[in-house]
Amino acid sequence: NVHAADQQVEWMYAFDVHCNAFFTLFVFAYVLQFCFLPILMKTAWISLFLGNTLFALAGAGYAFTTYLGFHAMPFLHHQEVFLYTIPLIAIAYLLSLFGFNISHHLLDFYF
């Protein structure tokens, strides 16, 4: 349209969307992991399941919250691209249940 104004996303809005999405990731991947630390550090399969589920929910929550933040902008198109990471996270989650404990590896890295 000739009379339409050029619209683009401000970096402050994009940063705000990232901060809002990171909060969900922080709660799942750090706060809840800290609360369940005695369970997650065991070598039982339930520890692997719980730890990997927390990280899968954290990643999917980050992607979905990012999608919601940019979906609110009416002039953007194809915001569903942000949701394409959720099936990849689900596949990685299912594969990790065969013995890769994400919590163990990250806690070994941190400490």
Output the pLDDT for position 6.
66
What is the per-residue pLDDT across 25-66, written as a single tens digit (0 to 9) for each? 999 999 999 999 999 889 899 999 999 999 999 999 999 999
What is the per-residue pLDDT across 15-31, written as a single tens digit (0 to 9) for each? 999 999 999 999 999 99
- The whole-model pTM stands at 0.86
Which parts of 1-111 fold into alpha helices (H)? 11-26, 32-35, 37-40, 45-71, 85-96, 102-110
> Mean pLDDT, to the nearest integer, of 78-97?
92
> Mean pLDDT, to the nearest integer, of 95-99?
93
